């Protein structure tokens, strides 16, 4: 994959010894993780509403199930 970065910004990053590939990789991983967590929260909220539990209660149940593995 490739991306466009302003030449000036890329030069400044190099001057500071920044590994641009690693920074971009990490940022992409964090954004994907954030989006996945949002999806899980939305799904948990829907489940909670359909079975009349608070989102906190659903989160507690999921956490307990995870911890018991």
Confidence of residue 40 (pLDDT cuts 50, 70, 90): confident
C-alpha–C-alpha distance, residues 36 and 64, integer Å: 20
Domain spans in the chain, listed from the N-terminal domain onward: 7-67
C-alpha–C-alpha distance, residues 54 and 58, integer Å: 6
**DSSP at 55:** H
Predicted TM-score of the model (pTM): 0.65
Question: Which has the closest alpha carbon to 56: 66, 67, 45, 64?
Answer: 45
Q: pLDDT digit string (tens) for 42-68?
A: 887 887 788 888 878 878 888 898 898
The confidence score (pLDDT) of residue 49 equals 81
């Amino acid at each position: 994959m490739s991306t466009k970065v302003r030449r000036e910004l890329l030069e400044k990053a190099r001057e500071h010894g920044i590994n641009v590939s690693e920074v971009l990789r990490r940022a992409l991983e964090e954004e994907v993780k954030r989006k996945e967590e949002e999806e899980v929260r939305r799904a948990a909220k829907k489940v909670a509403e359909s079975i009349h539990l608070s989102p906190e209660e659903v989160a507690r149940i999921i956490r307990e199930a995870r911890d018991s593995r």
